[in-house]
C-alpha cells in the first residue's frame, strides 16, 4: 500500500502543479504566441548572421574595395610600362640570356619565372573580384535593415544576437506545452482516478487484515497480562476508518491501543489511563506475543514490576529472560525475583560525597551477584539463609532456561 500511495501522491502533485500553471497560463500563452509569431516572421537562420555581417562589410566599403583592388590589379599586371608583371618579365628574359653565359643563373631564372606565373594567377583572381564586386545601394539598405531588425529583437528579449534562433525554439517549445496542457490535464486526472481506486482497494484489504489481527492480538495480550500481575485486565486495539481522511502511506485506518487495567473498568486509551508500571507490563505482554515476528534488537523496561511481588514478579522476570534469548533486553528493577532471571546483573548506585553526587554502574560477578540478591531479599543484614535463597533463585532461573 505504501507503493500505491507514492504513485497516487506523485500523480496528484503533478496534477496540482499543472492546474496551478494553467491558472496563470492564459496571459503567458498569448504573449508566447506573439513572440513566436514575431520571431517566425524574422525567419532567422543560425548560419545567416555571419553571412549578413560579412556582406554588410563588403557593401559598406564597396567603393574603397573597388578602387583599391583596381589599383592593385594595375600595379600587378595591367600597367604595361610599370606593372610588377612587366618588370618581372623583363628580369626573367635577361636572366635567361645571361644563363647562356653562366649556367648558375638558371635556377634563379626558373624561380622568378615561377613567381611570374603566380603573379599572373593572382592578377586573374583580382580581375574576377573586381568584376563581381557589388555596388548595389538597395542591397546594402536591405542588409542594414535586416541586421537592425535582428538586433532590435535581440535587445527586446535581452539575449545576444547569436542566441536569438535558440530563443525562438525555446519559446516555441514552451508554447507547445501550454497548448497541449489540457490533454495532459485530462490524462493526469484519469491516472489519478485509477491510482485512487487502486489505493482504496488496498486500504480496505489492509483494514480487514488489521481488524482480524487486532482482535487476535488483543486476546493474546490480555491473556499474558493476567500472568503479569494485572488480573481482570484487558487489552484491545481499536481499528477505525475515516472515509474522509487523506490518504497516507500506512493506509486510512486510525489505530488506538486501549486498556482496562482493573475488572469492571471500561476500555480507554492506553496513554491516558495506564500508570508507568502498567505501561511497562503491557509493553512486555505485547513484546512476548510479537517476539517471533519482531526484529527489534534492543528493548528497555523501566519499573515493569511496579506494584507486584512474589510469584508475579518471578513470572515477569521469566518472560523477559525468554525475550533476552533473541535480543538485548534491559530492565530496571528493585525485585530480586526479576533480577535473578537476568543473564547479566548490573548494579546502579548513587554515591553522595561532600560536595558532589555521582552514579556508578558495575557488572556483578557470580559471588557479588549472590550478595546483591541477598541484600535485595533480606535488607541491611545479610544472613547465610538469604544467601542460600539467592543461590537457589539463580539456579532455578538457569534450570528453567
Model confidence over 114-171: pLDDT tens digits? Answer: 998 998 888 888 888 777 666 667 777 776 777 777 788 888 888 887 788 888 888 8
pLDDT of amino acid 370 = 94
Beta carbons of 248 and 230 less than 8 angstroms apart = no
The domain ranges of the chain are 43-179, 275-401
* Better-scored residue on pLDDT, 359 or 63: 359
* Better-scored residue on pLDDT, 383 or 284: 383
Beta carbons of 342 and 254 less than 8 angstroms apart = no
Nearest to 281 by CA among 350, 339, 224, 214: 224
| 369-375 long-range Cβ contacts below 8 angstroms, 24+ apart | 369/345, 369/394, 370/394, 372/339, 372/345, 372/347, 373/336, 373/339, 373/340, 373/345
Stretch 207-215: mean pLDDT: 94
pLDDT of amino acid 243 = 73
pLDDT band at 62 (very low <50, low <70, confident <90, very high): low
What pTM does this model have? 0.51
Stretch 70-89: mean pLDDT: 79
pLDDT band at 56 (very low <50, low <70, confident <90, very high): low
Calpha distance 217→210 (Å, rounded): 10
Weakest-pLDDT range from 129-143, 203-217, 284-298, 347-361: 129-143
Calpha distance 401→399 (Å, rounded): 5
Nearest to 76 by CA among 114, 122, 111: 122
Among 24-33, 229-238, 290-299, top mean pLDDT goes to 229-238
Calpha distance 310→323 (Å, rounded): 21
pLDDT band at 192 (very low <50, low <70, confident <90, very high): very high
CATH architecture of 275-401: 3-Layer(aba) Sandwich (3.40)
Amino acid at each position: 500500500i505504501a507503493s500505491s500511495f507514492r504513485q497516487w501522491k506523485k500523480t496528484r502533485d503533478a496534477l496540482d502543479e499543472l492546474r496551478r500553471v494553467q491558472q496563470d497560463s492564459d496571459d503567458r500563452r498569448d504573449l508566447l504566441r506573439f513572440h513566436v509569431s514575431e520571431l517566425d516572421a524574422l525567419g532567422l537562420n543560425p548560419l545567416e548572421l555571419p553571412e549578413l555581417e560579412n556582406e554588410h562589410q563588403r557593401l559598406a566599403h564597396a567603393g574603397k574595395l573597388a578602387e583599391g583592388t583596381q589599383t592593385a590589379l594595375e600595379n600587378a599586371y595591367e600597367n604595361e610600362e610599370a606593372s610588377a608583371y612587366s618588370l618581372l618579365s623583363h628580369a626573367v628574359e635577361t636572366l635567361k640570356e645571361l644563363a647562356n653565359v653562366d649556367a648558375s643563373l638558371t635556377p634563379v631564372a626558373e624561380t622568378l619565372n615561377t613567381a611570374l606565373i603566380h603573379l599572373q594567377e593572382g592578377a586573374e583572381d583580382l580581375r574576377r573580384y573586381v568584376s563581381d564586386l557589388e555596388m548595389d545601394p538597395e542591397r546594402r539598405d536591405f542588409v542594414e535593415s535586416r541586421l537592425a531588425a535582428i538586433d532590435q529583437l535581440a535587445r527586446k528579449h535581452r539575449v545576444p544576437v547569436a542566441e536569438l534562433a535558440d530563443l525562438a525554439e525555446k519559446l516555441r517549445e514552451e508554447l507547445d506545452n501550454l497548448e497541449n496542457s489540457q490533454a495532459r490535464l485530462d490524462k493526469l486526472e484519469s491516472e489519478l482516478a485509477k491510482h485512487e481506486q487502486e489505493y482504496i482497494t488496498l486500504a480496505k484489504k489492509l483494514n480487514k487484515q488489521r481488524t482480524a489481527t487486532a482482535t487476535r492480538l488483543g486476546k493474546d495480550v490480555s491473556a499474558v497480562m493476567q500472568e503479569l500481575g494485572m488480573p481482570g485486565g484487558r487489552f484491545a486495539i481499536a481499528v477505525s476508518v475515516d472515509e474522509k481522511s487523506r490518504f497516507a502511506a500506512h493506509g486510512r485506518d486510525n489505530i488506538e491501543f486501549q486498556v482496562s487495567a482493573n475488572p469492571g473498568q471500561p476500555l480507554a486509551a492506553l496513554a491516558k489511563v495506564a500508570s508507568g508500571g502498567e505501561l511497562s507490563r503491557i509493553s512486555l505482554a505485547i513484546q512476548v506475543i510479537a517476539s517471533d515476528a519482531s526484529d527489534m534488537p534492543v528493548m528497555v523496561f523501566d519499573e515493569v514490576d511496579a506494584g507486584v511481588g512474589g510469584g508475579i514478579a518471578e513470572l515477569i522476570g521469566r518472560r523477559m529472560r525468554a525475550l533476552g534469548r533473541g535480543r538485548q533486553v534491559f530492565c530496571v528493577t528493585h525485585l530480586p525475583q526479576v533480577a535473578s532471571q537476568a543473564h547479566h546483573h548490573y548494579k546502579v548506585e548513587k554515591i553522595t560525597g561532600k560536595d558532589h553526587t555521582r552514579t556508578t554502574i558495575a557488572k556483578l560477578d557470580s559471588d557479588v551477584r549472590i550478595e546483591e540478591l541477598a541484600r535485595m531479599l533480606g535488607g541491611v543484614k545479610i544472613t547465610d539463609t538469604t544467601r542460600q535463597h539467592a543461590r537457589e533463585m539463580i539456579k532455578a532461573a538457569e534450570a528453567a532456561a
